[in-house]
């Protein structure tokens, strides 16, 4: 064998010996529900946090449903997870990078057209941390698929599965944690 042929063979041979699993994958678009995305201002916060995670790119944010599309290679970034493990493993990267203010959840379980919007006027939310606290009270209730909290508007909103929760349950949870509700006549 001549030297150039031998060099070429040594360069090409490893590619033939690698199985399909061992070949590097291309990044994939992965859509996740993002917790902590309680106001439009938080979109920039999320962009800054994602910059801290190597090999992850934020492609788009759909604020209305608190969903974002990220681009990454789950096998490389998350150490070959099973498909059902991907949200939790990605959450394990995002939470510490955001000082535990953002997280990842699986996508909606309730069809979006079945969700009901609930609005609760509140008083006293005068900073981002207060809004995060009120948001977390609501978001953790079973049946709440998405929530927002705005100190500018004095309003907490939630998209809920009406088969699992209702406005009264959300209002009660807020009151129990010390959030002051504004009176609203005839609001159910």
Tokens of 109: 């379980």
Q: Do 43 and 93 share a domain, yes or no?
A: yes
Residue found by looking up tokens 């009176």 in the block: 183
* pLDDT tens digits along 31-46: 999 999 999 989 999 9
Answer with the one of 75, 105, 135 that is the final residue of a domain: 105
**pLDDT at residue number 183:** 76
Q: Are residues 118 and 177 in the same domain?
A: yes
- Domain limits for position 36: 28-105
- Whether the pLDDT of residue 161 is over 80: the answer is yes
Answer yes or no: is pLDDT of 4 > 70. no
Predicted TM-score of the model (pTM): 0.76
Phi–psi pair at 157, nearest 5 degrees: -120, 155
Tokens representing 17 are 């010996």
Asked if residue 89 belongs to a domain, the reply is yes
**What are 104-147's pLDDT values in tens digits?**
998 887 888 999 999 999 987 778 888 889 999 999 999 999 99
Average pLDDT for 91-101: 96
Is 14 among the domain residues? no
Give residues with Cβ within 8 angstroms of 100, minimum separation 6: none
- Select from 60, 83, 105 the last residue of a domain: 105
Please count the structural domains in the chain.
2
E strand segments, 88-166: 103-105, 116-123, 144-150, 155-160
58/81 same-domain check? yes
User: Can you give the CATH number for the domain in which 117 is found?
Assistant: 3.30.70.100
> What per-residue confidence (pLDDT) applies to 8?
47
- Whether 155 maps to a domain, the answer reads yes
Q: 97 and 136, same structural domain?
A: no
Q: Which of these, 31, 41, 134, 52, lies nearest to 96 by C-alpha position?
A: 52
Residue ending a domain, among 48, 77, 105, is 105
DSSP string, the chain: --HHHHHHHHHHHHHHHS-TTTSPPPPEEEEEEEET--STTHHHHHHHHHHTSTT-EEEEEEGGGTEEEEEE-HHHHHTS--GGGHHHHHHHHHHHHTTTS-EEE---SS-GGG-EEEEEEEE---SHHHHHHHHHHHHTSTTEEEEEEETTTTEEEEEE-TTT--HHHHHHHHHHTTPEEPP-TT--
């Amino acid at each position: 064998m001549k030297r150039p042929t031998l060099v070429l063979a040594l360069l090409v041979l490893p590619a033939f010996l690698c199985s399909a699993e061992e070949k590097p994958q291309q990044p994939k678009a992965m859509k996740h529900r993002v917790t902590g995305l309680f106001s439009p201002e938080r979109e920039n916060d999320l962009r800054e946090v994602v910059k801290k995670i190597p090999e992850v790119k934020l492609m788009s944010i759909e604020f209305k449903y608190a969903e974002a599309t990220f681009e990454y290679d789950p096998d490389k970034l998350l150490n070959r997870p099973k498909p059902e493990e991907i949200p939790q493993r990605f959450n394990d990267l995002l939470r510490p990078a955001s000082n535990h203010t953002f997280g990842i959840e699986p996508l909606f379980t309730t069809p979006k057209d079945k969700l009901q919007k609930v609005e609760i006027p509140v008083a006293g939310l005068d900073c981002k941390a207060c809004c995060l606290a009120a948001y977390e009270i609501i978001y953790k209730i079973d049946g709440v698929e998405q929530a927002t909290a705005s100190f500018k508007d004095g309003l907490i909103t939630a998209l809920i599965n009406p088969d699992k929760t209702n406005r009264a349950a959300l209002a009660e949870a807020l009151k129990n944690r010390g959030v002051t509700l504004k009176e609203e006549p005839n609001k159910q």
